[in-house]
Amino acid sequence: MAFKNIQPIIRESGATIVWKPFLVGGVFNAVNHDVYRWRENPDDRKYRHSFTWLQEWAKLYGISMNFPCEHHPVKSVLAMRFCCALQDHQEQLLSFATRAFEAYFTDQKNLDEPEVMVAIADACGLNGSELLEKTRDQVIKDCLRLNTEDAIARGAFGSPTIFVDKDRLYFGGDQLPIIRQALMEG
């Protein structure tokens, strides 16, 4: 939801955004182990209600969501490598990420399956097979590792993590109003 809802804020404020894919699991492993303990206890009151709230937020924002799905939590390495292969082409990355989010959160596709990722890229007018090959390059693997390490070093503890002016960290879609405020103040 933050991915979709930040886009009008960016347009309204005239800010520039740089999308940098990282592995949220890598961040969890480094600095936020509580996430795993929370998932191990599906009877936790907050955990039980969280998906209901997520559906309600999606409805409020007019976002189609059919989640959670059998693939949750998805192994996002392949998807993030596709994104890293597009990182230097931000418009293509935005288009691809939009379709990938829809595939996972609405269509319940498994983003860990190469054929799913190729189809998403092809639907964006990209060469999915070529991108899949790039995901195997060490340069792309290193890009994802470095992006993840950078997010951790800058204070990230989950996703979505949003930085304003490179060092002001915000976390979660609920912080979009204060992100908008920060951007509008310049």
Give 98-114 pLDDT, tens digit per residue: 999 999 999 999 999 99
Q: Does domain 2-185 have CATH number 3.40.30.10?
A: yes
pLDDT confidence bin for 118, thresholds 50/70/90: very high
Q: Where are the alpha helices (H) located in the chain, listed in sequence order? A: 2-13, 24-31, 34-40, 45-61, 77-86, 90-105, 114-123, 128-134, 138-153, 176-185
What are the boundaries of each domain within the chain?
Answer: 2-185
Name the residue with higher pLDDT: 69 or 25.
25
Q: Decide: 135 and 85 in contact? Cβ < 8 Å.
A: yes
pLDDT for 20-32, tens place per residue?
Answer: 999 999 998 899 7
